[in-house]
Amino acid sequence: MNTTRSVLISGASSGIGKATALHLARRGFFVIAGVRREQDGQELESASQGRLCAISLDITDPASIDRAWNKVEGLTGKSGLLGLFNNAGIAVAGPVEHVSADEWRRQFEVNVIGHVALTQAMLPLIRRYVAAHGHGSGRIIFTGSISGRVTLPILGPYAASKHAIAAIAAALRQEVRAQGIWVSLLEPGAIQSDIWKKADDFIATVGPNDPARVLYTRHIEAMIQQTHEGARSAIPAEHVARLVEECLTRSKPKIRTTVGRDAALAATLRWVLGERLFYWMIARAIKIP
């Protein structure tokens, strides 16, 4: 395989990560797909017809990141790593009051700390690519979310992690630009993904006598409805995959991009209306106090 355009993707087992891995492989990139389960990696390699290499990667485990670095370095050699797509993620949901400290930590370990650790590890390989291929050729891309701009009730932990990623991407962008590396943030709205089923799984764990259900029934019911509506209107993950390719190939990629009409509309209304009026409208729309 030609490794001169190599991209590492975390969270490539499903959803955006899987769609992006297969799309980039079809487009001639050498894709290194980070997966948690060996079976997922085998399925990706089979679907890509040999244009992709799957590796075991748990971004919350420093030893796993070290092993991944050795594997990526061995695969890319003197050419280095063109780009890193920080995509792995989970969604922890629940009222702020009732999400345990351990669950808050789990949310941030995966969605924030893990991405920082992986980026720190891979930056030398990206700088190696820049040295070999020219200033401005290195790329780092983060999967953010419209939740990094707009926060809904019950989704506080997830939204907080995406706000953090937006801040990290902004800081990193300014820090590595002089090194010839571009940093981009993608902010999808509703994307076809298993995240909708996981949201239903959370709701199922909140029994009728649970304190969270007693105090926040209307908020939880509203988010159940929003989750189901989002699942029905969600756009295919390939929309994000095409934007990742743009971030990798444009001479000056966009630094922050919403994905989907719902995300673009929410971002625009939040900016135009201001915080107080915007969240008043949200409360009226989803019928919460």
- Indicate the domain borders of the chain: 6-262
Does the pLDDT at position 163 exceed 80?
A: yes
Please report which confidence band the pLDDT of residue 44 belongs to, taking 50, 70 and 90 as the band edges: very high
In 3-state terms, what secondary structure has residue 31? strand
What's the pLDDT at 259? 95
Spatial distance between the Cα atoms of 220 and 12, rounded to a whole number of angstroms:
30
Say what the pLDDT of residue 10 is: 98
Q: How confident is the model at residue 278 (pLDDT cuts 50, 70, 90)?
A: very high
Q: By percentage, how much of the chain surpasses pLDDT 70?
A: 94
Q: What is the greatest pairwise CA distance in the chain? A: 62
Per-residue model confidence (pLDDT) at position 97: 92
Residue-wise pLDDT tens digits, 241-251:
999 999 999 99
The helix or strand, by DSSP H or E, that contains position 61, with its residue range, turns out to be none
Confidence of residue 180 (pLDDT cuts 50, 70, 90): very high
pLDDT band at 230 (very low <50, low <70, confident <90, very high): confident
Residue 6 forms beta bridges with which residues? 30
**DSSP for residue 98:** G
Q: Is 152 exposed, middle or buried (0-12, 13-18, 19+ CB in 10 A)?
A: buried
Q: What is the pLDDT of the chain when averaged over all its residues?
A: 92
Query: Around Cβ 242, how many Cβ atoms within 10 Å?
Result: 13
HSE, CB side, 13 Å, CA atoms: give it for residue 5. 10
Q: What is the pLDDT of residue 2?
A: 55
Res. 212: pLDDT tops 70? yes
Sign of CA dihedral 199, 200, 201, 205: positive
Give the model confidence (pLDDT) of 9-43 as tens digits: 999 999 999 999 999 999 999 999 999 999 999 99
How does DSSP assign 100-126, residue by residue? Answer: -HHHHHHHHIIIIIHHHHHHHHHHHHH
Q: In what order do the strands lie in the sheet with 256-259?
A: 52-56, 30-35, 6-9, 83-86, 138-143, 181-188, 256-259
Say if residues 89 and 11 touch (Cβ distance below 8 Å): yes
pLDDT for res 213: 76
Find the length of the chain. Answer: 289
- In the numeric block, the tokens 């670095």 are attached to 69
CA distances from 258 to 36, 94, 255 (A): 28, 25, 10
Q: What is the pLDDT of residues 192-210, one digit of tens each?
A: 876 655 656 666 666 667 7
Give per-residue burial for 168-200: e unless 16+ CB within 10 Å, then b.
bbeebbeebeeebbbbbbbbbbbbbbebbeebe
Which CATH code is given to the segment(s) 6-262? 3.40.50.720
Q: Which residues are catalytic?
A: 158
Note the pLDDT tens digit of each residue in 84-142.
999 999 999 889 998 999 999 999 999 999 999 999 999 999 999 999 999 999 999 99
pLDDT digits (tens, 9 = 90+) for 217-227: 888 888 878 87
User: What's the predicted TM-score (pTM) here?
Assistant: 0.93
